[in-house]
Structure 1
Amino acid sequence: MPFMVLKASFLSLDGVDRSANCSKIEVTAEVEEKDVTTFASAGWKEVLGGIASGSLAPTIKNDFAGIDAALWPKFGLLIPFEVRASNAVVSAANPKFTGSVLVKSLTPISGSPGDVNEASYTWPTSGPIVRAIA
């Protein structure tokens, strides 16, 4: 059974590689559960998928000249993203996930004395998350 250790993942925000400022990436896709149970369901719940949604949850090490300068003007706007498990070329073994996210929150300063200035975000996607192998 193959396992994967994330060592050199790739994150692009608004067309710019931000991997060097990122220490965690999580892409989530989910679908609403719609109950379609009837009396003919024989006492078992039946469900169908409803509207899909997703999110991008990166942890970003803040950098005022780079990250903050680029993202602050995008606050409240949609930006494109691309995520790969590895920074290697896109393939069946290294698919890319792309879409748009709403930059709904920013934390330019976070930490106590001696801490790394970093922040974790969860930005909702707008439209589909696309998985591609080429």
Structure 2
Amino acid sequence: MARMVLLASYLSINANVLSTFANKIELTTEVEEKDITTYGSLGWKEVLGGLRSASLGLGFKQDFTAAQLDSIMWPLFGTVVPFEVRADQAAVGTNNPKYTGSVLIKSWNPLTGSVGDEASVSVSYPTSGVVARATS
């Protein structure tokens, strides 16, 4: 089994490559659990998968410089935009699949922290529609 250390992950939001600002990328997918247990289940719970959902958690090092992170993300607030994430910035392939979809930019926290803290941003966005995995 190959092991990997995340050193150069890829993040794009609304066609803006934001890898140079990101220090955390977490794509989580899940499916609703629907209970279909009947008396015929003989006392054992039976389930099926229902609606699927996902979220994209991100950590950034903030940058207020013109045309940098804050000026890219602020106009996206309240909109649904495309995203792409990969474990590595290398070309997409069987060893480096890409995950794509759309996310609702439901929050933006431009300023958080205390005296002496680095300027960082932590957000989590729900996906809207299908999240796809591709190797080409």
TM-superposition CA deviations, 1:6-62 (whole Å, max 9, x none): 000000011011000000000011000000000000110000000000010010111
Which blocks of at least 5 consecutive residues in structure 2 are unaligned?
A: none
CA distance in 2 between partners of 1:20 and 1:116 (Å)? 16
Which residue matches 1:22?
22
What SS is found at the alignment partner of 1:109?
coil
Tell me, yes or no, if structure 1 residue 105 matches structure 2 residue 102. no
Which residue matches 1:36?
36
Which blocks of at least 5 consecutive residues in structure 1 are unaligned?
A: none
* CA positional deviation for 1:4: 1.2
User: Alignment RMSD, CA only?
Assistant: 0.7
- Aligned pairs for 1:66-85 (under 5 A) are 66-85=68-87
What SS is found at the alignment partner of 1:97?
strand
- Please state which structure has a larger fraction of its residues in helix: 1
What SS is found at the alignment partner of 2:20?
helix
CA distance in 2 between partners of 1:51 and 1:38 (Å)? 21
**Percent of aligned pairs with the same residue?**
54
CA distance in 2 between partners of 1:71 and 1:8 (Å)? 21
CA distance in 2 between partners of 1:86 and 1:109 (Å)? 29
CA distance in 1 between partners of 2:118 and 2:86 (Å)? 25
AA in 2 matched with 1:21:
F
Q: TM-score, normalised by structure 2?
A: 0.96
* Alignment equivalent of 1:133, drawn from 106, 128, 135: 135
User: How many residue pairs get matched?
Assistant: 134
Q: TM-score, normalised by structure 1?
A: 0.97
AA in 1 matched with 2:83:
F
CA distance in 1 between partners of 2:73 and 2:17 (Å)? 13
What SS is found at the alignment partner of 1:70?
helix
Which residue matches 1:59?
59
